[in-house]
Amino acid sequence: MTYTVGETAKKMNVTASTLRYYDKEGLLPFLERSGGGIRIFDENALSWLQMIECLKKTGMPIKDIKYFMDYCMEGDSRIDERLAIIRSQRDAMIHKMQEMQEMIDMLEYKCWYYETAKEAGTCAIHDDIQPESVPAEYHKYLQHQS
Amino acid sequence: MTYTVGETAKKMNVTASTLRYYDKEGLLPFLERSGGGIRIFDENALSWLQMIECLKKTGMPIKDIKYFMDYCMEGDSRIDERLAIIRSQRDAMIHKMQEMQEMIDMLEYKCWYYETAKEAGTCAIHDDIQPESVPAEYHKYLQHQS
DNA sequence: CTACAACTTAAAGCTAAGTTTAAGTCAATA
DNA sequence: TATTGACTTAAACTTAGCTTTAAGTTGTAG
Protein backbone atom coordinates (compact mmCIF):
# COMPACT_ATOMS: atom_id res chain seq x y z
CA MET A 1 0.00 0.00 0.00
CA THR A 2 1.37 3.42 -0.97
CA TYR A 3 0.17 6.97 -0.41
CA THR A 4 0.62 10.45 -1.86
CA VAL A 5 1.77 13.39 0.18
CA GLY A 6 -1.83 14.55 0.68
CA GLU A 7 -3.07 11.17 1.88
CA THR A 8 -0.10 10.82 4.21
CA ALA A 9 -0.66 14.30 5.56
CA LYS A 10 -4.21 13.34 6.55
CA LYS A 11 -3.04 10.12 8.16
CA MET A 12 -0.39 11.94 10.17
CA ASN A 13 -2.58 14.93 10.94
CA VAL A 14 -0.27 17.53 9.40
CA THR A 15 -0.49 19.53 6.16
CA ALA A 16 1.00 18.41 2.87
CA SER A 17 3.12 21.57 2.92
CA THR A 18 4.63 20.51 6.20
CA LEU A 19 5.65 17.13 4.77
CA ARG A 20 7.17 18.82 1.70
CA TYR A 21 9.00 21.20 4.02
CA TYR A 22 10.35 18.27 6.06
CA ASP A 23 11.48 16.61 2.85
CA LYS A 24 13.24 19.79 1.74
CA GLU A 25 14.98 19.97 5.13
CA GLY A 26 16.26 16.43 4.72
CA LEU A 27 14.02 14.71 7.25
CA LEU A 28 12.63 12.18 4.78
CA PRO A 29 15.67 10.61 3.05
CA PHE A 30 13.80 7.30 2.90
CA LEU A 31 11.19 8.64 0.45
CA GLU A 32 10.75 7.13 -3.02
CA ARG A 33 9.50 9.03 -6.07
CA SER A 34 7.36 8.00 -9.04
CA GLY A 35 8.73 8.36 -12.57
CA GLY A 36 6.99 11.71 -12.77
CA GLY A 37 8.51 12.97 -9.51
CA ILE A 38 5.57 12.33 -7.17
CA ARG A 39 6.57 11.39 -3.60
CA ILE A 40 5.60 7.83 -2.64
CA PHE A 41 4.93 7.04 1.02
CA ASP A 42 4.61 3.42 2.19
CA GLU A 43 4.07 1.71 5.59
CA ASN A 44 7.77 2.01 6.27
CA ALA A 45 7.65 5.76 5.58
CA LEU A 46 4.70 6.08 7.98
CA SER A 47 6.69 4.39 10.71
CA TRP A 48 9.58 6.81 10.09
CA LEU A 49 7.12 9.68 10.28
CA GLN A 50 5.96 8.43 13.68
CA MET A 51 9.55 8.47 14.85
CA ILE A 52 9.94 12.02 13.52
CA GLU A 53 6.69 13.03 15.23
CA CYS A 54 8.01 11.61 18.49
CA LEU A 55 11.28 13.55 18.22
CA LYS A 56 9.39 16.72 17.33
CA LYS A 57 6.94 16.34 20.22
CA THR A 58 9.88 15.91 22.55
CA GLY A 59 11.21 19.25 21.34
CA MET A 60 14.02 18.21 19.02
CA PRO A 61 14.78 20.89 16.40
CA ILE A 62 14.32 20.04 12.71
CA LYS A 63 18.07 20.20 12.11
CA ASP A 64 18.84 17.71 14.85
CA ILE A 65 16.17 15.37 13.52
CA LYS A 66 17.88 15.62 10.15
CA TYR A 67 21.23 14.61 11.68
CA PHE A 68 19.52 11.66 13.35
CA MET A 69 17.92 10.58 10.07
CA ASP A 70 21.29 10.92 8.34
CA TYR A 71 22.79 8.53 10.91
CA CYS A 72 19.88 6.15 10.38
CA MET A 73 20.54 6.09 6.64
CA GLU A 74 24.21 5.28 7.31
CA GLY A 75 23.13 1.98 8.82
CA ASP A 76 24.86 -0.27 11.35
CA SER A 77 28.03 1.85 11.49
CA ARG A 78 26.12 4.54 13.37
CA ILE A 79 24.25 2.51 15.99
CA ASP A 80 26.26 4.07 18.83
CA GLU A 81 25.45 7.59 17.74
CA ARG A 82 21.78 6.80 17.27
CA LEU A 83 21.55 5.20 20.70
CA ALA A 84 23.28 8.21 22.28
CA ILE A 85 20.82 10.63 20.64
CA ILE A 86 17.77 8.64 21.72
CA ARG A 87 19.09 8.23 25.26
CA SER A 88 19.81 11.91 25.67
CA GLN A 89 16.40 12.79 24.27
CA ARG A 90 14.74 10.39 26.72
CA ASP A 91 16.71 11.82 29.65
CA ALA A 92 15.83 15.37 28.62
CA MET A 93 12.16 14.36 28.51
CA ILE A 94 12.24 12.79 31.95
CA HIS A 95 13.72 16.02 33.26
CA LYS A 96 11.09 18.06 31.45
CA MET A 97 8.33 15.90 32.93
CA GLN A 98 9.57 16.74 36.42
CA GLU A 99 9.59 20.43 35.57
CA MET A 100 6.09 20.15 34.16
CA GLN A 101 4.86 18.43 37.31
CA GLU A 102 6.14 21.40 39.32
CA MET A 103 4.24 23.77 37.05
CA ILE A 104 1.08 21.70 37.43
CA ASP A 105 1.55 21.83 41.22
CA MET A 106 1.68 25.61 41.05
CA LEU A 107 -1.40 25.74 38.83
CA GLU A 108 -3.22 23.48 41.33
CA TYR A 109 -2.38 25.97 44.05
CA LYS A 110 -3.64 28.85 41.93
CA CYS A 111 -6.88 26.94 41.27
CA TRP A 112 -7.36 26.54 45.00
CA TYR A 113 -6.47 30.20 45.48
CA TYR A 114 -9.12 31.38 43.02
CA GLU A 115 -11.72 28.84 44.13
CA THR A 116 -11.53 30.09 47.71
CA ALA A 117 -11.37 33.71 46.53
CA LYS A 118 -14.45 33.09 44.37
CA GLU A 119 -16.31 31.62 47.32
CA ALA A 120 -15.38 34.59 49.50
CA GLY A 121 -16.08 37.07 46.71
CA THR A 122 -12.64 38.63 47.06
CA CYS A 123 -8.94 37.77 46.81
CA ALA A 124 -8.49 39.72 50.04
CA ILE A 125 -9.43 36.51 51.86
CA HIS A 126 -5.82 35.46 51.26
CA ASP A 127 -4.21 38.63 52.61
CA ASP A 128 -3.80 37.52 56.23
CA ILE A 129 -4.77 33.89 55.88
CA GLN A 130 -3.71 31.49 58.68
CA PRO A 131 -1.26 28.86 57.38
CA GLU A 132 -3.42 26.18 59.04
CA SER A 133 -6.32 27.06 56.73
CA VAL A 134 -4.06 26.36 53.73
CA PRO A 135 -3.65 22.73 52.59
CA ALA A 136 -0.12 21.62 53.46
CA GLU A 137 0.87 20.94 49.84
CA TYR A 138 0.31 24.62 49.05
CA HIS A 139 2.42 26.06 51.86
CA LYS A 140 5.42 26.68 49.62
CA TYR A 141 3.35 29.08 47.51
CA LEU A 142 2.09 31.16 50.42
CA GLN A 143 4.05 34.28 49.48
CA HIS A 144 2.14 34.40 46.17
CA GLN A 145 -0.57 37.02 46.08
CA SER A 146 -2.79 36.45 43.01
CA MET B 1 14.05 45.32 49.07
CA THR B 2 13.95 46.49 45.45
CA TYR B 3 15.86 45.52 42.33
CA THR B 4 16.75 46.90 38.91
CA VAL B 5 15.92 45.11 35.70
CA GLY B 6 19.45 43.66 35.54
CA GLU B 7 19.38 42.30 39.07
CA THR B 8 15.92 40.85 38.54
CA ALA B 9 17.02 39.26 35.30
CA LYS B 10 19.82 37.42 37.13
CA LYS B 11 17.46 36.29 39.88
CA MET B 12 14.95 34.96 37.36
CA ASN B 13 17.59 33.54 35.03
CA VAL B 14 16.52 35.52 31.97
CA THR B 15 18.10 38.51 30.20
CA ALA B 16 17.26 42.13 30.99
CA SER B 17 16.13 42.50 27.37
CA THR B 18 13.60 39.77 27.90
CA LEU B 19 12.12 41.54 30.92
CA ARG B 20 11.96 44.84 28.99
CA TYR B 21 10.29 42.98 26.14
CA TYR B 22 7.73 41.47 28.53
CA ASP B 23 7.07 44.92 29.93
CA LYS B 24 6.56 46.32 26.43
CA GLU B 25 4.13 43.50 25.68
CA GLY B 26 2.10 44.37 28.77
CA LEU B 27 3.06 41.40 30.95
CA LEU B 28 4.32 43.54 33.82
CA PRO B 29 1.54 46.07 34.59
CA PHE B 30 2.44 45.83 38.29
CA LEU B 31 5.85 47.48 37.77
CA GLU B 32 6.77 50.76 39.46
CA ARG B 33 9.20 53.31 38.04
CA SER B 34 11.67 55.67 39.69
CA GLY B 35 11.40 59.42 39.13
CA GLY B 36 13.94 59.06 36.32
CA GLY B 37 12.01 56.23 34.64
CA ILE B 38 14.00 53.25 35.95
CA ARG B 39 11.93 50.10 36.48
CA ILE B 40 11.62 49.04 40.13
CA PHE B 41 11.09 45.37 40.95
CA ASP B 42 10.13 44.27 44.48
CA GLU B 43 9.28 40.95 46.16
CA ASN B 44 5.75 41.22 44.86
CA ALA B 45 7.04 41.71 41.31
CA LEU B 46 9.24 38.62 41.70
CA SER B 47 6.24 36.57 42.69
CA TRP B 48 4.35 37.83 39.63
CA LEU B 49 7.35 36.91 37.52
CA GLN B 50 7.21 33.37 38.90
CA MET B 51 3.58 33.17 37.87
CA ILE B 52 4.51 34.41 34.40
CA GLU B 53 7.35 31.89 34.24
CA CYS B 54 4.89 29.14 35.13
CA LEU B 55 2.45 30.17 32.41
CA LYS B 56 5.28 30.42 29.89
CA LYS B 57 6.70 27.01 30.79
CA THR B 58 3.25 25.53 30.35
CA GLY B 59 3.22 26.93 26.82
CA MET B 60 0.91 29.93 27.16
CA PRO B 61 1.61 32.55 24.45
CA ILE B 62 2.79 36.02 25.53
CA LYS B 63 -0.50 37.58 24.40
CA ASP B 64 -2.59 35.24 26.49
CA ILE B 65 -0.40 35.90 29.51
CA LYS B 66 -1.04 39.60 28.93
CA TYR B 67 -4.79 39.03 28.95
CA PHE B 68 -4.45 37.09 32.19
CA MET B 69 -2.40 39.88 33.77
CA ASP B 70 -4.97 42.40 32.60
CA TYR B 71 -7.67 40.41 34.42
CA CYS B 72 -5.47 40.26 37.50
CA MET B 73 -5.12 44.05 37.51
CA GLU B 74 -8.91 44.37 37.29
CA GLY B 75 -9.16 42.75 40.71
CA ASP B 76 -12.03 40.86 42.32
CA SER B 77 -14.45 41.48 39.44
CA ARG B 78 -12.45 39.05 37.29
CA ILE B 79 -11.93 36.12 39.66
CA ASP B 80 -14.14 33.85 37.52
CA GLU B 81 -12.15 34.56 34.37
CA ARG B 82 -8.83 34.08 36.12
CA LEU B 83 -9.97 30.77 37.61
CA ALA B 84 -11.18 29.59 34.21
CA ILE B 85 -7.82 30.43 32.59
CA ILE B 86 -5.80 28.67 35.29
CA ARG B 87 -8.05 25.61 35.20
CA SER B 88 -7.85 25.28 31.45
CA GLN B 89 -4.09 25.68 31.57
CA ARG B 90 -3.85 22.99 34.24
CA ASP B 91 -6.06 20.63 32.24
CA ALA B 92 -4.02 21.26 29.09
CA MET B 93 -0.86 20.44 31.04
CA ILE B 94 -2.25 17.22 32.41
CA HIS B 95 -3.11 16.20 28.86
CA LYS B 96 0.36 17.20 27.66
CA MET B 97 1.95 15.13 30.42
CA GLN B 98 0.10 12.05 29.16
CA GLU B 99 1.27 12.74 25.63
CA MET B 100 4.83 13.18 26.87
CA GLN B 101 4.66 9.90 28.73
CA GLU B 102 3.72 8.18 25.49
CA MET B 103 6.70 9.78 23.76
CA ILE B 104 9.00 8.64 26.57
CA ASP B 105 7.59 5.12 26.20
CA MET B 106 8.50 5.19 22.51
CA LEU B 107 11.98 6.49 23.27
CA GLU B 108 12.41 3.69 25.84
CA TYR B 109 11.56 1.19 23.14
CA LYS B 110 14.05 2.81 20.77
CA CYS B 111 16.72 2.63 23.46
CA TRP B 112 16.09 -1.07 23.85
CA TYR B 113 16.08 -1.44 20.05
CA TYR B 114 19.51 0.19 19.70
CA GLU B 115 20.95 -1.49 22.79
CA THR B 116 20.15 -4.93 21.41
CA ALA B 117 21.27 -3.88 17.93
CA LYS B 118 24.54 -2.60 19.40
CA GLU B 119 25.10 -5.88 21.19
CA ALA B 120 24.44 -7.83 18.01
CA GLY B 121 26.47 -5.44 15.89
CA THR B 122 23.57 -4.92 13.49
CA CYS B 123 20.00 -3.66 13.37
CA ALA B 124 19.23 -6.74 11.26
CA ILE B 125 18.78 -8.62 14.54
CA HIS B 126 15.30 -7.04 14.63
CA ASP B 127 14.28 -8.05 11.10
CA ASP B 128 12.67 -11.37 11.95
CA ILE B 129 12.70 -11.18 15.70
CA GLN B 130 10.33 -13.50 17.64
CA PRO B 131 7.74 -11.49 19.58
CA GLU B 132 8.60 -13.56 22.68
CA SER B 133 12.14 -12.13 22.66
CA VAL B 134 10.66 -8.62 22.86
CA PRO B 135 9.63 -7.26 26.29
CA ALA B 136 5.84 -7.11 26.41
CA GLU B 137 5.71 -3.35 26.94
CA TYR B 138 7.40 -2.86 23.55
CA HIS B 139 5.06 -5.05 21.51
CA LYS B 140 3.02 -2.14 20.21
CA TYR B 141 6.14 -0.74 18.52
CA LEU B 142 7.07 -3.95 16.74
CA GLN B 143 6.31 -2.68 13.26
CA HIS B 144 8.99 -0.01 13.74
CA GLN B 145 12.23 -0.74 11.91
CA SER B 146 14.95 1.64 13.14
C1' DC C 1 31.35 67.48 39.65
C1' DT C 2 32.85 64.03 36.64
C1' DA C 3 33.04 59.40 35.10
C1' DC C 4 30.96 55.33 34.01
C1' DA C 5 28.23 51.29 34.39
C1' DA C 6 23.58 50.33 33.97
C1' DC C 7 19.56 52.13 32.79
C1' DT C 8 16.01 54.06 28.93
C1' DT C 9 13.54 53.80 24.11
C1' DA C 10 12.51 52.77 19.27
C1' DA C 11 13.49 50.26 15.63
C1' DA C 12 15.73 46.85 13.13
C1' DG C 13 17.33 42.06 12.97
C1' DC C 14 17.20 37.10 13.84
C1' DT C 15 15.69 32.08 14.05
C1' DA C 16 12.55 28.36 13.85
C1' DA C 17 8.97 26.28 11.75
C1' DG C 18 6.09 26.39 8.86
C1' DT C 19 2.53 28.66 5.15
C1' DT C 20 1.38 30.81 0.97
C1' DT C 21 1.83 31.91 -3.77
C1' DA C 22 2.73 31.32 -8.57
C1' DA C 23 3.69 28.81 -12.34
C1' DG C 24 3.81 24.63 -14.04
C1' DT C 25 3.31 19.03 -14.28
C1' DC C 26 1.16 14.46 -13.39
C1' DA C 27 -2.23 10.98 -13.64
C1' DA C 28 -6.88 9.19 -13.00
C1' DT C 29 -11.59 9.73 -14.87
C1' DA C 30 -15.18 10.93 -18.39
C1' DT D 1 -7.83 12.70 -25.43
C1' DA D 2 -9.33 16.39 -22.58
C1' DT D 3 -10.30 17.79 -18.05
C1' DT D 4 -9.23 18.44 -13.48
C1' DG D 5 -7.71 17.80 -8.86
C1' DA D 6 -3.56 16.80 -6.69
C1' DC D 7 0.92 16.92 -7.38
C1' DT D 8 5.76 19.61 -8.26
C1' DT D 9 9.26 23.59 -7.20
C1' DA D 10 11.26 28.02 -5.75
C1' DA D 11 10.68 31.88 -3.43
C1' DA D 12 8.36 35.07 -0.70
C1' DC D 13 5.74 35.70 3.47
C1' DT D 14 4.24 34.96 8.40
C1' DT D 15 4.44 34.54 13.49
C1' DA D 16 6.43 34.10 17.97
C1' DG D 17 9.72 35.35 20.92
C1' DC D 18 13.25 37.31 21.69
C1' DT D 19 18.05 39.99 20.66
C1' DT D 20 20.74 43.63 19.01
C1' DT D 21 21.78 48.26 17.94
C1' DA D 22 22.01 53.12 18.44
C1' DA D 23 21.40 57.14 20.71
C1' DG D 24 20.53 59.05 24.80
C1' DT D 25 19.63 59.30 30.32
C1' DT D 26 20.18 58.01 35.28
C1' DG D 27 22.35 57.50 39.39
C1' DT D 28 26.22 56.03 42.19
C1' DA D 29 31.24 56.13 43.43
C1' DG D 30 35.39 58.73 43.60
Cβ of residue B16 lies below 7 Å from strand D: no
pLDDT band for position A146 (cuts 50, 70, 90): confident
Structure confidence at residue A128 (pLDDT): 86
Structure confidence at residue A145 (pLDDT): 74
Chain D bases closer than 7 A to any CB of the protein: 6-10, 16-21, 25-27
pLDDT band for position A64 (cuts 50, 70, 90): very high
Structure confidence at residue A61 (pLDDT): 98
* Min distance B61 CA to chain A CA atoms (Å): 16
Q: Give the CA distances from residue A24 to residues A21, A27, A29, A50, A52, in Å, rounded to whole numbers and listed in that order.
A: 5, 8, 10, 18, 14
Residues 6+ apart with CB under 8 A from B41: B2, B3, B4, B5, B7, B8, B31, B49
Q: Which helix (H) or strand (E) holds B2?
A: strand B2-3
Other Cβ atoms less than 10 A from the Cβ of B59: the count is: 13
Structure confidence at residue B15 (pLDDT): 98
Average pLDDT over residues B42-55: 97
Structure confidence at residue A21 (pLDDT): 98
pLDDT tens-digit map of B91-125: 999 999 999 999 999 999 999 999 999 999 999 99
Average pLDDT over residues A40-62: 97
pLDDT tens-digit map of A106-128: 999 999 999 999 999 999 999 98
Structure confidence at residue B128 (pLDDT): 86
Contact present, A146 and B75 (Cβ < 8 Å): no
Of A80, A117, A145, the CB nearest to B118: A80
Residue A139 pLDDT exceeds 80: yes
Average pLDDT over residues B18-42: 98
Pick out the nucleotide with least CA–C1' distance to A17.
Answer: C19
Footprint of strand C on the protein (CB under 7 A): A 14-15, 17-18, 20-22, 34-38, 56, 61-63; B 4-7, 16, 20, 23-24, 37-39
pTM above 0.85, yes or no: yes
Average pLDDT over residues B118-136: 93
Average pLDDT over residues B21-34: 98
Structure confidence at residue B50 (pLDDT): 97
